[in-house]
Structures are given as structure tokens and as C-alpha cells.
Amino acid sequence: MSANEPAKTVDFIRRIIAEDLAAGKNGGKVTTRFPPEPNGYLHIGHAKSICLNFGIAQENASSICHLRFDDTNPEKENEEYIESIKKDVKWLGFDWKSNLFFASDYFDKLFELAKVLIQNGDAYVCSLSADEIREYRGTLTEPGKNSPDREQSPEVNLDLFLRMRDGEFADGSYTLRAKIDMTSPNINMRDPAIYRIRRATHHQTGDKWCIYPIYDFTHCISDALEAITHSLCTLEFEDHRPLYDWFLDRLQPQLKQHPQQIEFSRLALDYTVVSKRKLIKLVNDGFVAGWDDPRMPTISGLRRRGYTPESIRNFCSRIGITKTPNNVEIGFLEGCLREDLENKALRAMAILKPLKVVIDNYPVDKVEEITAPNHPQNQELGNRTIYMTREVYIDRDDFMEVAPNKKFKRLVTGKEVRLRNSYVIKCEEVIKDPNSGEIVELRCSYDENTLNANPEGRKVKGVIHWVSATQSIKAEIRLYDRLFVNANPEDGGDFLANINPSSLTTLKDCPIESSLVKANSGDTFQFERVGYFSKDPDSTEEQPIFNRAVTLRDSWAKISEPRREQRKR
């Protein structure tokens, strides 16, 4: 962890844990777990849970955190998701050490415990179809009604359950259900399913099983078997807590541990969707280029875009852990990244909209090496070499024939400006295309006495970035913006209707400093006066690619309304 990261806030969960430790509860130990389902890539919401569970383990010497894959649905799970989850947790700065588990590790034990419930009269095999089960369940205002199979003897239920395991019945023909209360005001307690028949090859157990346990049954028992002390989950599982406790209470002779489930509010981030179903649709239907597309809220997408683990951990720490659902502005996440990169991102120069400048009085074949700092406030980050030549590129936005107002401090016809870390130049002539009238070149002069020195007798206030025309390399620059134009992508019912058509702008052949050819994939730089950019893993030596991680300032508020109005028209 970085030494300059803020101290962890003492939220209500940490207070509970501190009280338990002080009281010697659970033998004075704390064991948490992060339990992802391997059916998709982790997203920013998962980062909040990762930082909470692993963070508690790091803060307390007597604590550990498990990484456990809740892999009970083999039809939607695979090894790709498992490996991506491991990579993301490690990248965020956390280590499960030897505590890596799979719910499938407990399939044999879960099967035996299901038999215990049957033998004790707490579970039965139901022949209702999925649609019939939904019909029998009732509504929030009307009680459910009992299955015709509810009063079968334990002997009949056990026989049917064993035959389910042996593959005698078709998928969906039978379900093992808990026998609780079909009139409960909590629908989760109305005889929920425990096992279903599903012929699918499992990524860990192969074809050993044709029945698979349901999440609610699996999760609490896995917690107990691993001696989890505090099972931390998001608020949507609050209504599931009575069921969590019911299973553990019924199986206490066999399960010696009864973890405490505690709920906290999930992360809601504007301009973002984190539903796996929606993220999968974005990927499968080609709205993005994959799970790690830099526009995605996945951890791998954020990493590829240029986010740092420190910025995400800082973000999760600052938003805190509460019981109250709240919506976080995405600008806050972007601000955490800017704050982190401001202090450690190396500086470089890149021209996104190049305009050629010819310095007529500079020697034609001269290539001058100039030493420039990698960071203006941090000398420990060292220096780099930039090259001054007769022809350079500046950004088109840094030149106007006539200054629009006194605040314009860039290059103007007949006026001077300093090239960053280099000389003062003066625009002498503007060359235009005779047909279109577009400016194609500037003819300038330079003051040879102004390298690291102010010109005599006059003040030059403007400073612009530049790149040598002959000693630079050409890069592809990808300008990423928010994926949705609406803060609430669900507004109007169809989140796809709110996709931002300008979420990606690709610029070709942008001149950048030649030193950037040595950058590694994932290295992040501040392109001076432009933004923060990260080198994309698809880069080659011939074609470097840089992704914009975040702009230097949050300008979205100024442009979101026009974009939204344009969308409506």
C-alpha cells in the first residue's frame, strides 16, 4: 500500500469487528471472504467489496481473507473468468495467500448435508415445474400455497434425491426444496430450492454431478466450513439473511461455526451499469471491444484505460461503507485518479491535432538535444531528452491568426510564445491551402538566446507544447469518454439507448516524443496540457497506442447537456 493513502475510515462494520475482537469473540480472530461467481469479469462495485474484505484482513494481525469462487452454475462459468478475477484481486494489491477455495470443493459435503435436511423433515423433493413453483410462491401481498409433494415422507424424498443424483430424471423434472413456510412475509423463506437437476460439465468437477446446489444453500455452508466469522455482503442479501441463518441453525450439529452476515450498501456509480447481464450484452453485441475495453467499468477495463490500483483503493476508502444506498458521481472516481497521477505520472509531449511549424532561422540539419524534467515538482523522477529541430509540430488549438481576447496566451501572428523547455518563437507568416483556405503551415523565427532564459527587454507569457517533426514517432491516440450520455443509463427503460456515440475517438499519426517508444504496456504519462494517457497492450514498436485515462480537468458538466439535447433531437 502507498504511504500517502488515507487512513481507513472506521465504518460500522469495522466497529462491529473491533467490538468482537475486544470481547474475544471467535477466539479473537476475524476471517472474511470475497466470494465472486466466476460468470463474468469483476467491476468497480466488486472493488468496494474486495477493499473491504481484504482491507479488514490487512488491518488486523489476527485476520485473514479467503478468495472463494461460488461456482454453482457451470453453464455460465469458465476458467477465463476465474483467472481474470485472480489477476484483478492481485492487481488491486491484495493476496489470499493459501486461502483459495471453490464452492465446488464442498459438493460432496453439501450433498450429505442436504440428505440431513431431508432425513430431519426439513427438505423435500418437488415435482412442480419452474413456472408452477413461481405460481405457488404467491406475491408480496398474497401467501403462497404448499406443493402437492410437501408432505412426502423423508424416505420417499431421500429415494428421489438419490435418483436425482444418479441421473435418472430429466433436467427440470424435480427440485429439492427447503421445507420452511409458504405463508412467510419473506418470499425467500417460502420453501426455496436447494438443488436442481442440470446436466452441465463443471470446470472443476467435470461430469461428476448432474445436480447442483443453489447459491443460498451453498454460500452459508461454505462460510461455515471455512470458519468465516463475518460474512460481508451487499444490501440485496438482507432479505436472504433469515434463510442464511435458517440453514445454519438446522445443520448446527454438523456445522460448528455460525458466521454473522452483515450487509452494506452496494456501489452505485452514475454514467455506469454494473449488472453482469448488461455488461455481457455490451460485450456480446459488440457495443464495446471486450471485457477489458477501457470504457467498461470492469477492473480490467479500468486498468487498461490507465487507472492505478492506488486510485481505486483510495476511491473505495473515501466513499466509505454504510447501510444507506447512495449514488456516487463518476467525477469523484476520475478525481481520485487525477490526484494519484498528478504526483507520479511522468510528463511527455504529444500533439493530437498537428500543425507544422518551420523555424526559418534555425539550422536546417541541426538536431539539438535538450534536457527536460520528467516531472516539474519531483526531481527524483529524473530527466528525459527532447530534440529541437527546424521543423516542429504544435497543436492547432494553440494558434490563432488574431487573438480572440487578452486571455489567449498562445501563438498569434506576429507574436511570440515559448516552446515548452525550449526556445521562444515568433510567428512570421501563415501558409494556407489555396483551395480550402485551411492553415497548413506556420513560418516562424526563434530567439537563440532564450533556451532556459527569458528574452531581453520583453515578456513572453505563453507556453505551448510541441514535438520535433523529424525526431518524433507517430502514435494512435484513443480518446475515451463516458460510455453513457445519461447519468442514469436506465432512464427511459433501455440502457442501450443512452450509449454515448462519442465514447471513443481514434486519432491516427499523432506525433509524440521519441522517448515514449520505450514505454511499457500500462505505463501512464501526463501528455502536457492534454491529459493522462496509458500505453495500450495492443501497441507494437511500429504502432504505439495510447489510451486517454482521464482529462486534466472535469469538463463533462459543460458538455453533457448539449449532448443530451442532441440525443433527444
E strand or H helix at 82:
helix 79-91
Backbone φ, ψ for residue 305 (5° rounding): -70, -30
User: Is 199 an active-site residue?
Assistant: no
Per DSSP, the residues of 472-529 read: EEEEEEEEE--SBSSSSTTTTS-GGGGB-TTSEEEEEEEEEEGGGGGPPTT-EEEETT
Q: Which of 361, 357, 511 is nearest to 430 (CA)?
A: 357
Q: 342 with 499: CB under 8 angstroms? A: no
Distance CA 519, CA 521 (A): 7
Q: Which of 507, 506, 517, 519 is nearest to 542 (CA)?
A: 517
User: Is 276 an active-site residue?
Assistant: yes
Going by DSSP bridges, is the β-strand pair 193-197/504-513 parallel, antiparallel, or unpaired?
A: unpaired
Cite the DSSP H helix spans in 412-484: none
Catalytic residue chosen out of the listed positions 109, 266, 278, 415: 266
E strand or H helix at 117:
helix 107-119
Q: 47 with 14: CB under 8 angstroms? A: no
Number of residues that make up the chain: 569
Catalytic residue chosen out of the listed positions 14, 29, 276, 318: 276
Checking phi first, is residue 172 left (phi over 0); if not, alpha (psi -120 to 50) or beta? left
User: Is 266 an active-site residue?
Assistant: yes
Backbone φ, ψ for residue 382 (5° rounding): 80, -165
Q: 471 with 259: CB under 8 angstroms? A: no
Distance CA 525, CA 319 (A): 26
Q: 89 with 69: CB under 8 angstroms? A: no
User: What amino acid positions are annotated as catalytic residues?
Assistant: 37, 266, 276
